[in-house]
Structure 1
Amino acid sequence: MPETQTTTDQGPTRRPIGAGAGTGAGIVPVLAFAGIVVAVMQTLLVPLIKDLPELLNTSPGNATWVMTSTLLAGAVATPIMGRLGDLYGKRRMLLTSLAVMVAGSLIAASTSELLVMIIGRALQGFAMGAIPLGIGLMRDALPREKLGSAMALMSSSIGVGGGLALPLAALVAQNADWHALFFGSAALGTLSILLTLAFVPESPLRAKGTFDVLGALGLSAGLVLFLLPITKGSDWGWSSGTTLGLFAAAAVVLFLWGVMELRVQAPLVDLRTTARRPVLFTNLASIMVGVAFYAVSLVLPQLLQLPTTTGYGLGQSMVVAGLCVAPLGLTMMFTAPVYGRLSAKYGPRTTLMIGMLIIAVGYGAGLGLMSAAWQTVVIAVVLGAGIGLAYSSLPALIIGAVDPSETGAANGLNTLMRSIGTSVSSAVIGMVLANTANQVNGVAVPTMHGFRVSFLIAAGAVAVGLLFALLLPRAPREGRLKSRGSAVAEHQPLRGKGPHESHEPAVAEHARAADPTMDTAARP
């Protein structure tokens, strides 16, 4: 089995790639559960969006900050926690993320004040870094025959948690005090911490170097400046000075941040690695998948809950609407083992393209399947299968193109790309639905035309994503792959590259050769 150098408290050691402390019997479900718990935070208050101004005694514009703060905090935390995990231990940072989420849940559960609620929700969003950390732990601990389906399940947990949260949150909101949602999330977070302590070993793999504080501050500032006008542009006006000024400031800050990252020895994000063809086009495809994923989450609940008097609304309750959309997340979970078999045979690049084609079929069929609740369930199942396959392919493509010591940071950046996709989707679909709405008794009611245009936009995003997937390098044949891995094992010594990279490229290539589910295409 291939080896790589790891840095532990006792000094450098050699360990087989994919040979963790155990068989992974407990690691996979525990880490997947952590991912689901974290994803729940993103959609926890979706059933209450219309009621938040009254519940928090504030204006509708101010109430949206309760959702925006979670998104911004998650975007900032994801790449930072991934890098901290590479440096100081992925399990340690996972536990930190979950602990911060529990603290945020308890703060939100104890207040109805807007500012305090925003702080609590931001702390909840901070836990999004757990997704790339979990993928990294699986990469370091599991045997290669289990790694593909395990990473697929972890990657899909974002959709699983979001899908399951909708009906459960609606049920709680209808039958109990809304603060119970936060007490419940705190309990889930605490349970996840205990399970992680009991079943998940720490990875001995460490990246060399120090944490890039200036890089973290620069990226955080750039992301906030970029995502803020995306999420608030519809309220401020897309052509307003505030919106355009923030976009311009984001461009300047991110450009200066990029220049700085290219000059430091241990950057937060290795932009040279990010610019490699396999990493670049995987991240671009991730944005498009994020757009497609969030579009259905915005359209179907509204369609289901609109009154039948509109002529197209399905007149369902909040709970029934959540149950109709829930198969989206459940199907994503069940596609994880299917992905493992498909990827082992055809490679994650092909699996990504299959997933995107299924998404396109789902949105195309959805244009004519909006007249009954059961039809929305069919749409959710088809889209869930496609999105599950696409999401499952992304971490394998990333891991197959980066050094093992960069797993956390690279997957953190990829998770961030998905979040940017969902943010863009929320802004664009929200704008479309608002501009095509009818005014009924002073209330804007989305139209069927708006729903269909939204589906067409999602299908267009998938088409662009499919183009990016086609630009990914092809995986070599399995036989040639094994031969190359053997040659590396016999002829390449273990050598350090520098202060921020702990492995020779040949070692990373060798590590990827050990896992047939990973895309091991040569660098461009």
Structure 2
Amino acid sequence: MKRSGSPSATVAVLAVTSLLATLLQTMVIPLVPDFPALLNASPTDASWVVTITLLTGAIVTPVSGRLGDLFGKRRVLLVTLAVTIVGAVISALTSSLWPMVIGRGLQGSVIGVIPLAFGLFRDALPPRRIGGAITLLSATLGLGAAVGIPLAGLIVEHFEWNVLFWGAAGLGLLCTLLIVLVVPESPQRAEGRFDVVGAVGLTAGLIGLLLPIVNGGQWGWGSTRTLGLGAAAVVVLLGWGWHQLRTASPLVDLRGSARRPVLMANLATVSVGFAMFTMLFAFPQVLQAPTATGYGFGQSLVRSGLAVAPNGVVALLLTPVAARLITRYGARSSMLLGAVVVAAGYVFVALRMESIAVFVIASGVIGAGAGISAAATTKLITDSAPVTDTASANGVNALMRSVGSAASTAVLPVILAHATITVGPATLPSADGFRTTFYVGAAAAIVALVLTALVPASTPTSGVLARQHSTPVAKPDGGVLARR
């Protein structure tokens, strides 16, 4: 049945759905230290509860985007949510490791809703509202990541831990119902078939690439497993790229992704993803560290999570400002500003670690910069892609963000492991170790700044690129409406 929800209702529903995506990523963080006991598993095996979601999300983002462009973004969005709900129910019902890993892996597919939502904005909204909607959704993603930790901590303190997953399943059902009632299906369709070989190749390559990144510190960076998987991943991804360039209906338009505006924006997104996760990784540890360390504040999980929450709240409150910046000065200039603000936030906290207020302020500053940068990057990607490839183009960009986050999970623990102090019977990271991670976060933002500066000052509009990529737009009955 065709839906014709108002633009405002469509934006609100898709924003709430994207909030679910980031909540599912961060809500298990309070349970990480307890998973070995809860699941009767070793710490190494229990780490898969987090790792599998990261891997699944990285794989699903470009796949869901391409499926949405081919078969309908709303339809694929509903399927993605159904898979996520099943995964949440499996996790809620189990106390064993591998069923939990399977459930979390299915939940990782929720990341695929992000490129689909961005694509639906472009298809369902009038042009004047697209920029603001993209900015709101980008801010909502940051809010979900920021509030996920304190919200989960609060639930775990007062209820059984399984309630987390029942809550996720309930929110997934609510989002599904709202999408069915409110969100219209996109009339845009890309021509061609789904590239099964490309999907398998991308899956194998990303697993081979991300596993060493996530587990390199545990396996040893020079171990045969780490180096072997990394080398195999490079070979597989090169073969995958060769296939994408030769097939008529590629999973990812590499030629389009290689255009300078899109390429530089995607590379900058890797750095921004790294910088953002640095805060989520390091700030709670400093705030929860015992005061005997000389730098910690001994805060509870909930309080430390609330101290990080301004990251998402500020990004959300600045949504109108970010939208006006993008409209007035362009996506490239806004990306540059966002990177500078993120770097300034990290330098501030690195120089002033003496109070909780410093971390609250730095969290808000970093959130403001990351929110502006993410919204501007998505706008640039959306404007640079042909209208029939919007979701798949944003799927590649979401993949880049996942790669940046995964890289930070590998690099930051290594830094902290080499700068430790002894407090009683415990060995903990030192203040200098955390200060170094903050400077690394600032450096990642500066790298994003440099890459953004390489984006041409004026980029082609989506209409120009759509004409350059003349693509038939299919009708629902299989005919052709027009050639773009």
Please indicate the TM-score interval, normalised by the length of the shorter structure.
over 0.9
Q: Aligned to 2:170, which of 187, 191, 216?
A: 187
**Range with bigger deviation, 121-130 or 363-372:** 363-372
Structure 1, 147-156 or 209-218: larger mean CA deviation: 147-156
1:382 to 351, 365, 373: 365
Residues 20-59 of structure 1 correspond to what in structure 2 (within 5 A)? 21=4, 23-59=6-42
**One-letter identity of the residue aligned with 2:234:** A
Q: 2:195 is matched with which residue: 193, 209, 212?
A: 212
Going from structure 1 to structure 2, the CA distance change for 1:97 and 1:444 (only over 3 Å counts) comes to: farther
Task: State whether structure 2 residue 447 is matched by structure 1 residue 458.
Answer: no
- Structure 2 counterpart of 1:363: 346
Structure 1 unaligned blocks of 5 or more = 1-8, 10-19, 508-524
Superimposed CA distance per residue, residues 452-494 of structure 1 (whole angstroms, 9 cap, x where no aligned partner) = 1001111111111111111101127xxxx99x98xx8xxx899
CA distance in 2, matches of 1:234, 1:215: 30
Three-state SS of the structure 2 residue aligned to 1:26 is helix
Aligned pair in 2 of structure 1 residues 166, 495: CA closer, same or farther (>3 Å)?
Answer: closer
The residue type paired with residue 53 of structure 1 is P
Match status 1:475 vs 2:458: yes
Matches within 5 A, 1:150-169: 150-169=133-152
**2:265, 2:377 within 8 Å by CA — same for their partners in 1?**
yes
- Aligned counterpart in structure 2 of residue 82 of structure 1, from 55, 65, 70: 65
Residue of structure 2 equivalent to 1:431: 414
- 1:436-447 equivalences under 5 Å are 436-441=419-424, 443-447=426-430
Q: Secondary structure at the match of 1:25?
A: helix
CA deviation after TM superposition for structure 1 residue 276, in Å = 0.5
- Decide which of 384, 388, 403 is 1:405's aligned counterpart: 388
Correspondences of 1:89-100 after superposition (within 5 Å): 89-100=72-83
- Give the Cα separation in 2 of the matches to 1:177 and 1:497: 53
Cα–Cα, structure 1 residues 142 and 114, in superposed 2: closer, same or farther, change >3 Å? same
Give the whole-Å Cα distance in 1 for the aligned partners of 2:62 and 2:425: 43
Counterpart Cα distance in 2 of 1:494 and 1:377: 47
Q: Contact between 1:289 and 1:421, CA under 8 Å: does it hold in 2?
A: yes
Asked if 1:304 corresponds to 2:282, the answer is no
Cα root mean square deviation, aligned:
2.3
CA–CA distance in 2 between the matches of 1:144 and 1:227?
37
> CA offsets per residue over residues 180-199 of structure 1, 9 Å max, x none?
10001111111110111111
Classify 1:219/1:495 alpha carbon distance in 2 versus 1 (closer, same or farther; 3 Å): closer
Q: Matched residue of 1:297: which SS?
A: helix
> Alpha carbons of 1:503 and 1:343: their partners in 2 closer, same or farther (altered >3 Å)?
farther
Measured in 1, the distance between the counterparts of 2:198 and 2:137 equals 27
1-side partners of 2:482 and 2:332: how far apart? Answer: 25
**What is the aligned residue count?**
477
Q: Distance in 1 between matches of 2:468 and 2:55?
A: 43
Q: For each residue in 1:111-167, what CA deviation from the matched residue of structure 2 results, as whole angstroms up to 9, or x when unmatched?
A: 110000000000000110000000000110101121101011223333211111111
Aligned pair in 2 of structure 1 residues 58, 439: CA closer, same or farther (>3 Å)? farther
Amino acid at match of 2:61: T
* Equivalent position of 1:198 in the other structure: 181
Residue in 2 aligned with 1:315? 298
Aligned to 1:63: 46
Q: Counterpart of 1:445 in 2: which secondary structure?
A: strand
Question: Does the alignment pair 1:119 with 2:108?
Answer: no
Instruction: Write out aligned runs for 1:509-520 (5 A).
Output: none
Q: Kindly provide the amino acid, as one letter, of the partner of residue 184 in structure 2.
A: P
- Partners in 2 of 1:343 and 1:169 — Cα distance? 34
Code of the residue aligned with 1:25 in structure 2: it is S
SS at structure 2 position matched to 1:265: coil
Pick from 140, 159, 176: which aligns with 2:159? 176
Counterpart residue number, 1:227: 210
Secondary structure, aligned partner of 1:444: strand
Which residue in 1 is equivalent to 2:379? 396
Query: Any idea what SS the aligned residue of 1:400 has?
Result: helix
Q: Do 2:272 and 2:401's aligned partners in 1 also have CA atoms closer than 8 Å?
A: yes
Q: Is the 8 A contact 2:5 2:182 kept in 1?
A: no
Q: Give the alignment partner of residue 253 of structure 2, picking from 259, 266, 270.
A: 270
**1:415 alignment counterpart:** 398
In structure 2, how many angstroms separate the alpha carbons of the residues matched to 1:159 and 1:189?
A: 19
Task: Give the conservation status (yes or no) of the 8 Å contact 1:494–1:504.
Answer: no
Identity percentage of aligned residues: 45
Aligned to 1:324: 307
| Residue equivalent to 1:256 | 239
The structure 2 residue matched to 1:149, chosen from 132, 136, 139, is 132
User: d(CA) in 1 for partners of 2:112 and 2:32?
Assistant: 25
Name the residue aligned to 1:239. Answer: 222
TM-score relative to the length of structure 2: 0.95
Whole-Å Cα distance in 1 between the matches of residues 482 and 453 of structure 2? 28
**Structure 1 position 422, deviation (Å):** 0.6
